[in-house]
A = this chain, B = another copy of it.
Amino acid sequence: MAKTINVALIGQGFMGRSHSNAWGQVNRFFKPELQSVLHTVYGMKGEPTPEFAKTWGWLHTSDNWETLIKSPEIGLVDIVTPNFMHAPPAKAAVAAGKPCACEKPIASTLDEAREMAEAAARAKVPTFVWFCYRRTPAVALAHQMVKSGKLGEIRHIRASYLQDWADDSVPMAWRFKKESAGSGAHGDLNAHIVDMTRFVSGLEVEEICGAMATTFVKKRRIIEQDSGGGIQLSDEQMRYAKAGGGAEQFGDVTVDDAVSFIVRYNNGAMGTYEAARQATGNQNANGFEINGTKGSVKFNFERMNTLEYYDATQPRAYQGWTTIMCTHGGDHPYVANYWPDAHLIGYEHGFTSMAYDILQVLNGKEPTVPLPDFNEGYQTARILEAALIAASEKRWVLLDSVK
């Protein structure tokens, strides 16, 4: 008889679908010793929670997250609400002694992030932040390669997460408001690449050596339904908006469209980061290049099944960038649980693989590669905050000065 743990999902939306799928697929593909039960999904009154539950196989629904989190039936709280609504349920969960998994970025303010990390430390419960790109096989392989010394000493990291969905015609949504999103491309996209490069390189940022933040589209048309952030507007909403729907109502965009910054790591290496939403031609170009004295790796999520590797220890005549198809079950993380070689996996598998590692940890096992907890989420938030200070005060910022 398999062991099981009851999951409560706090929220729905795009991430609600991703997580629901993961909690279902993980049992089918990984057959973990500790299996997830899709127990209860929370939605506000008026949200189509029953339909969501039926589609994804949640056994119960709730419109009171405070009660739900405390329920003795719940073994794991999973949070997928908008950023500003991460901290309250997360703190409630750890206060109730419940393991808690929270979507990224960990919170919409650094204060909240620090409070969550402190609360988790006090409660001594396992926590997790869904930086799911760590579990892309190519990224996990890069982590393993750096750790085993294959790259030598790292000298350069350049990371960027470029999208192009937010052109001038896209209407106002929660993602464009500071009060709901905390920040724009910075928290949405730089958060991912900061976590991913810390994970892969093992380096820590010591100083922000310059930063720039900007908002290209300062006003956006308001339409009636705001279902969740541009990227999630339905096709009809988008067409309506692009056609000028919503008439003369415009709202101020109060978050960044793009943020770039330069860093110095603890070993002296140089790093650059850039997040953008109007980088035409890049739909989901979430990637990095890391150069070490013995080799380099390069990754772009738009070709997520492959890792580029330059092995500078090979005979010079045969050196070059090698495109590793990271789908070989015997050799690459996670993929043995999916399909044969080069029968590609996709975006959603990062969530499924992370669900597996969470279940492993809750079952007392080691995860395949390290999982980020609330403290890790807080460390990433400190770097993001330091970059914003550097941009607004037009100077370098030592990370130690930002808590």
Complex Cα–Cα for A338 and B390 (A): 38
A242 to B265, CA, bound (A): 29
A311 within 8 A of B: yes
- Residues of B close to A316: CB separation below 8 A: 328, 330-331
Nearest CB of B to A197, in Å: 15
Contact between B321 and A323, CB atoms less than 8 A apart: yes
1/0 contact string of A273-299 vs chain B (CB within 8 Å): 010101111111100010111111010
Q: A5 at the A/B interface (Cβ < 8 Å)?
A: no
Q: How far is A276 from B158 in the complex, measured between Cα atoms in Å?
A: 12
Q: 7 more A-B contacts (CB under 8 A) besides A282-B291, A304-B344, A395-B395?
A: A24-B28, A164-B312, A278-B293, A283-B325, A319-B324, A338-B348, A394-B396
Residue of B14, B167, B212, B268 touching A340 (CB-CB under 8 A): B14
Residues of A in contact with B, size category:
35 or more
- A205-216 interface mask toward B, CB cutoff 8 Å, 1 = contact, 0 = none? 000111110101
Least Cβ–Cβ distance between A155 and chain B, in angstroms: 5
Residue from the list B27, B235, B345, B346 in contact with A329, Cβ < 8 A: B235
Q: How far is the CB of A211 from chain B (nearest CB, A)?
A: 6
Cβ of A165: which chain B residues have Cβ within 8 Å of it? 340-341
| B residues in contact with A317, CB < 8 Å | 141, 324, 328, 331-332
Residues of B close to A232: CB separation below 8 A: 340
Given A167-B293, A212-B210, A280-B312, A325:B320 Cβ within 8 A: yes
- Taking Cβ atoms with an 8 Å cutoff, the residues of A that contact B are 14, 18, 21, 24, 27-28, 31, 55-57, 141, 155-156, 158, 160, 162, 164-165, 167-168, 208-212, 214, 216, 231-232, 235, 238, 258, 260-262, 264, 268, 270, 272, 274, 276, 278-285, 289, 291-296, 298, 301-306, 309-312, 315-325, 327-332, 336, 338-349, 390-391, 394-396
Q: Which residues from B are CB-within-8-Å of A345?
A: 346-347
* Pairwise interchain contact A210-B396, C-beta atoms closer than 8 A: yes
Asked if A280 and B276 make an inter-chain contact with CB atoms under 8 angstroms apart, the answer reads no
Bound CA–CA A346/B303 (angstroms)? 11
Q: Considering only CB atoms, which chain B residue lies closest to A151 in the complex?
A: B280
CA distance A21 to B396 in the complex (A): 46
Give the chain B neighbours of A322 by CB distance below 8 A. 318-323
Interface pair B264/A262, CB less than 8 Å apart: no
**A280-B303 in contact (CB<8A):** no
A276-B156, A306-B320 known; A341 vs B211 contact (CB < 8 Å): no
Which residues does chain B contribute within 8 Å of A344, judged by CB atoms? 301-302, 304-305, 344, 346-347
Q: Are B155 and A278 in touch, CB under 8 angstroms? A: yes
A309 & B301 in contact (Cβ 8 Å cutoff):
no
Distance to closest chain B CB from A247 (angstroms): 23
Determine whether the beta carbon of A283 is less than 8 Å from that of B341: yes
